Amino acid sequence: EGNYNYYVDDEDEEDEEKEQGKWPSEDAFKGENKASSYIPCSPTPSARAPGPASAPSILNINVGGQTYRLTYQAVAIYPKTRLGRLATSTDRRCQLGLCDDYAAQVDEYFFDRDPAVFQLVYNFYASGVLRVRDELCPCSFLEELSYWGVRLKYTPRCCRICFEERRDELREQLKVQRELRSQAEAEENEQLFHHMRYYGPQRWRLWNLMEKPFSSVTAKVMAVASSFFVLISVVALALNTVEEMQQVDWKSGDSRPVLEHIETLCIAFFTLEYLLRLVSTPDLRRFASSALNAVDLIAILPLYLQLLLECFTDDDQPRGRGSQHEHDIEKVGRVGKVGQVLRIMRLMRIFRILKLARHSTGLRAFGFTLRQCYQQVGCLLLFIAMGIFAFSAMVYTVEHDVSSTNFTSIPHAWWWAAVSISTVGYGDMCPETHLGRLFAFLCIAFGIILNGMPISILYNKFSDYYSKLKAYEYTALKKERGKVDFTRRAMKKISECCGEG
């Protein structure tokens, strides 16, 4: 029979209008039986449909092959339900419209629905209490309740709380699966390319080349080359900051990195890669809203902005009247401001390493975890900010009168509070009074408790999302590899090379 939750609740239940309507429409519901739509009937509590083969007070019901017998009086108590409308209606056409079939010989109404859920509905008509079975899917259970017209308000409160928790958990899992599937699978459908006006098949092949590494050997080589250029670019960016890797121009006296040309070559490859993706996409709006494409643009944009600013700086000639000394001072000021902008542009180049997220399942799972857990991360940042403000004010109050103290103001104490809450403890600032040290101990203890709170949540979420995303990618990989036999193709190439040798 299954396990049931039996509860007794003597409190009055408040009305909750359209409780079943809170469930979101899912793709799994497409094609469902639409017999749950409302059919207007004329309820007459004193009237009932007579049957020649059964007692006048008995309503014979067949649900999924199982027969049930209910009295008209028990069903008529709930006239807004489907069986209540069936029992109180005097219109024969309306009665037949409420069921799927009718056997006139035995006066039996047939419903092609789940008998397991109707057993709960049958118990509801008999006892007046709607019980919930643990193993039932909340989605299908609400669908069945909506069909029979039974509302969740007849469920005991504690039982309803457990059911709503399972419903919300399932809703969140379905949402996560849809988003993970959209990340693992190609966003553009092949049909979109067939209906394109210009070069649809060619752009489809180009899209497979750039976005589906296992669609062909060339696509795999392209993906490996992209990861290789990202690593080379990051290494060159780091080595260009080493003093020994600088080359001095004897004519102008300016120093330029030795690996500058390698970095320029990487940017040229990234630019070509971005343009190919831009040309092959069938939906520019979706392309522009993609986070990975935004990372690609940020990776190549700083170099072009830097070249543009340098061109404007070189072409900038002194304007107006004045001495040469005044023009030199004005030029130095402009060069100084441009230099600050260039430093910011160079700083943006570190975002190139994020391009690895396109080929790394772990990085994409980590980003997806942060997006899904933004509320927990926001609460963590809020608690950290509250702790920093509170403990910095406490320590400043007891330490600012001490001679040669570093706690000269509350903003100066923010750094100490942030380092203490993070349990790093650089030691550049430390309290000297006994009360200040007590506040420092409380700050460190608060940081230990605070840092341990979100770790388990984020780790569990990350592990779950990573395994699901990996499963979706594995399914897509097997599908693509089914179309391309890499082993046979590689053996053919090797045999051709050996034959030529």
pLDDT tens digits, 275-288: 998 888 877 887 88
| Per-residue model confidence (pLDDT) at position 417 | 92
Q: Give the residue with greater pLDDT, 363 vs 142.
A: 142
Backbone angles phi, psi at 352, to 5 degrees: -65, -30
What angle in degrees, to the nearest 10, is found between the helix axes of 434-483 and 410-421?
60
HSE-up (13 A, CA, CB side) for residue 186:
24
In the predicted model, is pLDDT for residue 320 greater than 80?
A: no
pLDDT in tens, 459-475: 888 888 888 777 776 66
- The kind and range of the H/E element at 288 are helix 284-289
Q: Given this model, what pLDDT does residue 341 score? A: 67
- Token pair belonging to 85: 């409308």
Q: Where does 56-199 have alpha helices with state H?
A: 72-76, 82-88, 92-98, 115-127, 138-148, 157-184, 190-194
Cβ-contact 60, 54 below 8 angstroms: yes
Burial of 342 (0-12, 13-18, 19+ CB in 10 A): middle
- Return the minimum-mean-pLDDT range out of 41-55, 96-110, 487-501: 41-55
Indicate if the pLDDT at residue 376 is higher than 90: no
| CA-only gyration radius of the chain, Å | 35
pLDDT band at 313 (very low <50, low <70, confident <90, very high): low
Maximum average pLDDT range among 222-231, 234-243, 325-334? 222-231
Domains and CATH numbers, the chain: 27-182 (3.30.710.10), 191-355 (1.20.120.350), 372-491 (1.10.287.70)
The number of angstroms, rounded, from the C-alpha of 422 to the middle of its chain's C-alpha atoms is 28
Beta bridge partners of 70: 59
Q: Is the pLDDT of residue 268 over 60?
A: yes
b/e per residue 88-109 (b: at least 16 CB within 10 A)? bbeeeebbebbbeebeeeebbb
Nearest to 49 by CA among 98, 82, 92: 92
Highest mean pLDDT among 51-55, 130-134, 232-236, 442-446: 442-446
DSSP state of 349: G
Q: Give the pLDDT score at 135.
A: 80
Amino acid at 182: S
